[in-house]
Amino acid sequence: MKKKALIIVLIVVVLLVIAGIVTFVIHNNAIQDQKHQVPLIIDAESYDDENSTAIPVAITGKNVKNEDVDELQYVNGKGQGIELKKGQYCFSFVASPLCKSGIFYKCPQDLNDVKIDNSLGDKPICDVLKDTTLTFEIEDSASITDDELNAAYEYAQNDNNNGKFANEYMDNTKKARDEAIANAKKIEEQKIAAQKQQSEDEMKRLVLEAINPSSGYVLDVFDFHQEGNLLLCTVCGENPNTGKFFKSTDFVFDISNPNAYRKITSFESGINPEFRPEKLLNAGFSKEKINEITGIKWY
């Protein structure tokens, strides 16, 4: 009788052990299969969840069961949206969200070692990134490339919330880019024009200093035509003795030698052979231009 009781006790113990093991395995699998929220800290100036598509995050790595993970998830401006099993992952911020305002963002660098380890247990939230701020800087609209735009549009279409606005937001972003490019071009043209004016003002100064009329003429210089170091210009002024205004279109000025200005009409008398039409021709002036400015049909 005692032997039979012992056997029953042993059977009960074995069953309890088996039940414990089964319970442990079931609980452990449940913990391994549990998905945890992984909140991010997003810093994106002017980003608005209501009027923007969500931020796409490509996630790769292995979960706790050593299964490969390669998926796309989206987060909002509060950094909410990512859910993962325990494991080790890389987060890649693959494209800018699209915004109704036309704003476009530069994406931050990847997060290469995001761990959700077993110590988390069955807690629903993993705050492993609580000390990491992800900054999305606003990109200069004129610098946005077609590849960046196309990538943003592709990911925006898959956003379950505002993906329906992808076309509208894409058009707004393109419009902002076109306006920025046009504005940058205008600013560059204004800069070039200012530099040209500054250059012409400097040339005027050099010409007038070189002429330096002892007669006290009041002179001005305009209508520049430059070829290499040679400058053809119009000089006008007023004779203080007669009060008469004169205009001469026959000055040649050598920028490399500020004291070497000559009247083109001196070519006729053979004076200053340095400035004969052959010199101008060698400097790059066209035959037609030489004939036009000198009023003499040399060619």
Last residue of a domain, one of 180, 201, 230: 180
Q: Is 204 within a domain?
A: no
- Judge if 37 and 169 occupy the same domain: yes
- Are 83 and 172 contained in the same domain? yes
pLDDT for residue 267? 31
Condensed to tens digits (0 to 9), the pLDDT of residues 178-193 reads 999 999 999 988 887 7
The better pLDDT of the pair 144, 197 is held by 144
Domain contains 122: yes
pLDDT value at residue 279: 57
Q: Where are the alpha helices (DSSP H) in 66-165?
A: 146-157
164 and 232 share one domain? no
265 pLDDT band (50/70/90 cuts)? very low
In-domain check, residue 264: yes
Instruction: Tally the domains of the chain.
Output: 2
pLDDT reported for residue 173: 97
Are 168 and 222 members of one domain?
A: no
Binned at pLDDT 50, 70 and 90, residue 163 comes out as: confident
Say which CATH number the domain at 80 has. 2.60.40
Domain boundary among the residues 140, 159, 180 is at: 180
Question: Which residues constitute the domain of residue 170?
Answer: 33-180
pLDDT of 35 > 60? The answer is: yes
| Average pLDDT, rounded, for the chain | 77
More confident residue, 199 or 20: 199
pLDDT of residue 263: 47
**Residue 4 falls within a domain, yes or no?**
no
Q: Are residues 162 and 240 in the same domain?
A: no
Q: Are residues 37 and 176 in the same domain?
A: yes
For residues 86 and 151, state if they share a domain.
yes
Antiparallel, parallel or unpaired: β 87-92 and 111-116: antiparallel
The residue with greater pLDDT, 213 or 4, is: 4
How does pLDDT run across 49-82, given as a tens digit for each residue? 999 999 999 999 999 889 999 999 999 999 999 9
Q: Is-contact 287 298, C-beta < 8 A? A: yes
Which tops the pLDDT comparison, 205 or 267? 205
Residues 109 and 158 placed together within one structural domain of the fold = yes
Whether residues 170 and 263 share a domain: the answer is no
Q: What is the pLDDT of residues 214-243, one digit of tens each?
A: 555 555 655 666 666 666 666 666 666 766
Question: What is the residue-wise DSSP string for 199-241?
Answer: HHHHHHHHHHHHH--TT--EEEEEEEEEETTEEEEEEEEE-TT
In a domain, 88, yes or no: yes
Inside any domain, residue 190: no
Of 159, 180, 201, which residue constitutes the final position of a domain?
Answer: 180
- pLDDT value at residue 287: 74
Q: What's the confidence (pLDDT) of residue 264?
A: 42
Read off the pLDDT of each residue in 157-177 and give the average, rounded to a whole number: 93
pLDDT of 251 over the 80 cut: no
Q: Are residues 87 and 216 in the same domain?
A: no
- Residue 59: its pLDDT value, please? 96
Q: Are residues 278 and 163 in the same domain?
A: no
Q: Quick check: is 76 in a domain?
A: yes
Q: How far apart are CA 62 and CA 65, in angstroms?
A: 8
Nearest CA to 247 out of 232, 235, 265 is that of 235
Q: Work out the average pLDDT over 3-8.
A: 63
- H/E element holding 193? helix 166-211
pLDDT reading at 266 higher than 50? no
The verdict on residue 23 lying in a domain is no
Tell me what the mean pLDDT of segment 266-282 comes to.
45
pLDDT tier, 92 (very low <50, low <70, confident <90, very high otherwise): very high
Examine the domain organization and report whether 175 and 224 are in the same domain: no
What pLDDT does residue 175 have? 96
